[in-house]
Structure 1
Amino acid sequence: MSVSEGINLMIGLLALLAGVIMFWFLPVITATSNPARFPLLSIIIPARNEAGRISPLLRSLQEQHYQSFEVLVVDDHSTDRTATIARSFGAKVLRNQAVETGSGKSAACWHGAQHAKGHWLLFLDADTSLTDADSLFKLLGFYQRMGAKGILSLQPYHTVHRLYENLSAIFNVIVIVGMNVFTVWGSRFKTAGSFGPCILCNKDDYLLTGGHHKIQEAVLDDLALGQAFLDKNFPVYGLGGSGVITFRMYPEGLKSLVEGWCKSFAVGSKSTHPIVMLMVIIWISGGLISTGALISSLAAMNPVALMFSGLLYGAYALQTLLFARRCGNFSRGIFIIYPILFLFFIAIHLYSLFRARVLHSVKWKDRKIKV
């Protein structure tokens, strides 16, 4: 085995270690005995053209054992049957009266909060769904145990139905890692904000921070809202949603997937701690270097180099699988060709940088959003 091959293998091993450091753990809410009482809950669902996706969420809300809540669906200028479907499930439908500002979602959330009767507010994306009939008990019980202050946000467990949706695997990992608090250092790094699809807070704290009204110009409302709470010295907790809440991302097709992740990564990386970002770069680079080492050893037909590079490639595929399966039910077999997932992530990240730095805009749901 040549010196260069040995160096590449060493880099790959160090990158595996960097992966362990950057994604040490992902806590989730565990089941507890059902608490007896909670304040009235207002569930606010901003929705724009979600007729094909909102039914599972509304159905899962009807199936909850805990039923002391109201459901407010804020129709954000939909052109489909979103409002009709929401009413059929008994939800109160509000029309977002705000002019199109920022991403639209923040204005819709603020409009819903102004009409909410509950003391606690739960903001849910329309493409989410509660996992089982005790999901609300688990979520509200954890928030109560944490003092019912600030934000509790969950990143839903990603359910995959079609092959192309597996391309989101690395994005899901990086979104969670990019929150800064899931490394070996834990909470020693300040969180980047909150996860957007599921945010629980009390109304008093929300109004004191200015809520979504304060951050309605932000492209990534989740990070901005979390920062608004941190600015007021309120705690912001982020956990994995496995066992509580799930979602299916971009079922409309590959174009929607590209636009969605481009929007998220156009500005999201700015909130990631530099050390965490360095770990991410090392991890992804190591995966590609390990792939190159395997290809090189195959071309040279060097048995020793082939054995070590093959073991390293397999270790990387297994680590990537384990990381991704924390985030969603991604197909296990896809990780045999994990470099394709890495290259797709790099391509979309570069495209998002081009949109943000050169065009100063991204596209999402027929809107052009300035960044």
Structure 2
Amino acid sequence: MSTHTQQLTAQGVSIWLDDLSRDRITSGNLTELISTRNVSGVTTNPTIFQSAIGGGGPAYSGQIAELARAGATVDEAIFAATTDDVRDAADIFRPVFDATAGVDGRVSIEVSPDLAHDTDATIAQAKELWAKVARPNVHIKIPATKAGLPAITAVLAEGISVNVTLIFSLERYAEVIDAYLSGIEKAQANGHDLSGIHSVASFFVSRVDTEVDKRLAVIGTDEAAGLASLAGIANARLAYELFEKEFSSDRAKTLTDAGANVQRPLWASTGVKSADLPDTLYVTELVAPGTVNTMPEKTLEATFDHGAIAGDTVTGTYEAAHKVFADLAAVGVDFDDVTQVLEDEGVEKFIASWHDLQGTVKSALESALEAAR
């Protein structure tokens, strides 16, 4: 009997863990998840590193002490600790990377969220992170803000693989696809091997339901109540429809014929936020070939335990998904406003986590210096 995670993988869905810590690396947990849970990649963000380093105790204390003695700044210490973790994780995933011809075995690290609205600084730090980690199976995460779009193109043009994060709307997703194709066209002009450049487009799911459901509750009608917890899945399904359309275009085919990869859709924020919802909802309802589902460990374990994988649950659902949005508009939900609020909040939350991380590391550096006196 195959496991539920094996069944999901067999449907063409790559399972990536939305978490990383030094303890996971050194304890062998990450290796175990690869062999027992079909995990084929890892994503990180400032919140994850704040949790890891803030609660990491002895796992990070030795390195922090060394950095303190060397006179490292707070940001230099964060850069050193996080890139070391990502490099070590990338080495663990290298066999997966090799076995999948570079499609999986990927570990993502994000540019500082403080740079989300600064194109040039994002480009510079993306290059710095790529060089520092120095592994072919890293993805540099760049947010899909207006300033992020030209940065995505510029970084891909340098042959650097990119995870585009914080996508909420179909309109922005179309711009992300265009930025990807433009980047690959420039990479081709720059003489890069297109087959070695990979990208995913991270479409956030549960946060959409959280924001829409809050608005539906305020509206308070029976019609509004009947639309609860439908928007996130419908939005993701329409993203897949757009993916199919754009990557079957003549422009995309010209590039794939030259060896380029498609930019895979990635379902992010797939842990349910309401106890009233099935805990595997954003996994079982978003099964489609050539996608990635990046899961927090709780969702991963729920999927392994009881995730009912019933084949492709995305293609063929587009008409129903469009109707969800027509019905949302009819009851008064402004979805354009929803997605703008979510993008703004997403950047703000990561900035807050980044500043918390800076505070944690600052205190750790000061404590290390005090102890050395």
With normalisation by structure 2, the TM-score equals: 0.28
Instruction: Name whichever structure is richer in helix by fraction.
Output: 2
User: Rg bigger for which structure?
Assistant: 1
